[in-house]
Amino acid sequence: MRINKYIASCGVASRRKAEELILNKKVKVNGKVVEELSLQIDENKDMVEVNGVKISQDEKSVYILLNKPEGYITTVKDQFNRLSVVDLLSKVEERVFPVGRLDYETSGLLLLTNDGDLTYKLTHPKHEIEKTYIAKVRGKLTEREIKDFRSGLHIEDYTTAPAKLKILDYDNEKKISTLEIKIHEGKNRQVRKMCKAINHPVMRLKREALGELTLKDCKIGEYRHLTEKELNYLKNI
């Protein structure tokens, strides 16, 4: 088994993060620092260490849906000592990491797991699933802005894929629009950048759904384990 896949299967990190650990010389196999990303190991014989800790595939796989509040980061560690989403999982004994990310100011649906293979699948561009957001933005959108948003916007060094946009409400007194936005991509702060590109900056943003998964029966700051039906859905995408 390739070393990054083995690390992911042990619930330490995704395959991509595992490669970063290897490049940073944080991984050893049988006492020797791993130099090659393509290294193949025998999971039944070789001893693998990450950051000096021996890892194994014994840990059971867990799959968690969290309703993330604003003010939490989706990385495990932070140089500014801000709260992490893992701080909300005090009763979860297994090491888990987020599938994708939600930025610090964004709330809503976030998956966490120690299944590196599923994380790799769900974050790979080939398998990007539809993400539904509710955004409160400044101002009232014009028909032209709506058309541009739906067609794709040039942001920084890329053009977004066509997106779905629905106007849910407009508060004439506060000059605030409530939008339902659906995208397939998952680039950093993409929804915020798209709204800014049409001159309607985001004031509040929440992810309501990930494909068929929703926040039903999960209040802000709370989490639950995925049902068998939900897990089968993700694995069969």
The verdict on whether 103 is a catalytic residue reads yes
Q: 3-class SS at 120?
A: helix
Cα radius of gyration (the chain): 20
| Residue tagged active-site, from 103, 115, 148, 169 | 103
d(CA 3, CA 199): 46
d(CA 207, CA 181): 9
Cα distances from 203 to residues 110, 143, 146, in angstroms, run: 20, 21, 18
Comparing CA positions, the residue from 130, 125, 161, 148 lying closest to residue 195 is 148
d(CA 124, CA 79): 27
**Which are the catalytic amino acids?**
103
